Each structure stands twice: as C-alpha cells, then as structure tokens.
Amino acid sequence: MIRVGMGYDVHKLVEGRDLWLGGIKINHSLGLLGHSDADVLIHAICDAILGAANMRDIGYHFPDTSEATLNMDSKIILKKTVELISNKGYHIGNIDATVCAERPKINPHVSEMTKCMAEVMGIDEELISIKATTTEKLGFTGREEGMSAYAVCLIEK
C-alpha cells in the first residue's frame, strides 16, 4: 500500500531565539518562536508523515500545551513520528519539502539538513528533497515576520 501526506507549518521570527531548520542550528539574527524549538521544516515533514498514515497531526501527538514538549528538540519529534508510522507497518518512501524564507539563504544548508534528518529517520539521504524559495518580499515571509514550510511524504506498507 502506498499513501501520500501533505504538511504545512508557520512560525514567527523573533529576536532572542536560535534558528533551527531541518534539525540544524543556522546562524541568523532571528529565530523561530514556538513551544518547541519551532523547526518549521521538521514540523511540516512530521505533519506530512502523520497525514499519510492517517494519524492526525503533530499537535495531536505533541501538544503545545504540554510541559513534556516545551522547548523540545524537533529531531525527537521527527524520530517519534517515524516510530509511530512504523508501528502501523509503514516506512518512508520519500519526502519533498520547501522552506519559504527571505533570509537567511537556505540553500547553503540543505546538505547538512538532509544528512541530519536522514540519520534521525534512519533512511537514505536520497529519499529527502529540500528546496528553498522566497516570496519576492510579499506577505509575512517577505516582510521577514516569519517562515513557512511545505512538505509531501510518500509512505509504503
């Protein structure tokens, strides 16, 4: 059986927070605000994985009202998400994701993010595609108020 899921996430950019994307810390003057480390890319990927397995969403499994998830490293969320679908007999077929941000430039970090997430999920790096785009200075992303990410995941049983 083959299933597809789609994920989307948004987080606000603020001063005084580290910027975590794809499981790595990126040097930037602003970071993403959230209950966990606010890794918008991993969160979108987790929602895509969970959606493909018909297992609701990241907020259901890792609520932002729980002390247990406060400041949680999103790599832990990603690892647990893969374990959840694995318990239902699924494995990752591939992931295709896009980060929307004006700054910093994402492309120089894609290889490191891919390597990090592949290790966390226990899959080959070739199964993960990460792309980056801007919004041409339009909207909240263009004003550098936040970042968003989209992800699609194919899973197989």
pLDDT tens sequence across 9-33: 999 999 999 999 999 999 999 999 9
Residue numbers of the domain that contains 11:
2-156
Q: Are 48 and 81 in contact (CB under 8 A)?
A: no
Confirm whether residue 29 is marked as ligand binding: no
Confirm whether residue 57 is marked as ligand binding: yes
Q: Are 32 and 99 in contact (CB under 8 A)?
A: no
Confirm whether residue 146 is marked as ligand binding: no
Confirm whether residue 4 is marked as ligand binding: no
Place of tokens 């896009």: 98
Confirm whether residue 35 is marked as ligand binding: yes
How many domains does one find in the chain? 1
**List of residues 6+ apart from 80 with CB closer than 8 A:** 61, 62
Confirm whether residue 102 is marked as ligand binding: no
Confirm whether residue 58 is marked as ligand binding: yes
Q: 42-73, pLDDT tens digit by residue? A: 999 999 999 999 999 999 999 999 999 899 99
Confirm whether residue 11 is marked as ligand binding: yes
For residues 70 and 1, give the distance between their C-alpha atoms in angstroms, rounded to a whole number: 35
SS3 75: helix
Q: Rounded to whole angstroms, what are the CA distances from 35 to 66, 78, 109, 111, 153?
A: 9, 15, 24, 27, 24
Structure tokens at 7: 């994920």
Confirm whether residue 135 is marked as ligand binding: yes
Q: Rounded to whole angstroms, what are the CA distances from 54 to 29, 47, 48?
A: 38, 10, 10
Confirm whether residue 17 is marked as ligand binding: no
pLDDT reported for residue 75: 98
Q: 103-150, pLDDT tens digit by residue? A: 999 999 999 999 999 999 999 999 999 999 999 999 999 999 999 999
Structure tokens at 130: 């990460």
CATH number at residue 34: 3.30.1330.50
Q: Where are the alpha helices (DSSP H) in the chain?
A: 40-52, 58-61, 74-86, 110-121, 139-142
The model carries a pTM of 0.97
Confirm whether residue 66 is marked as ligand binding: no
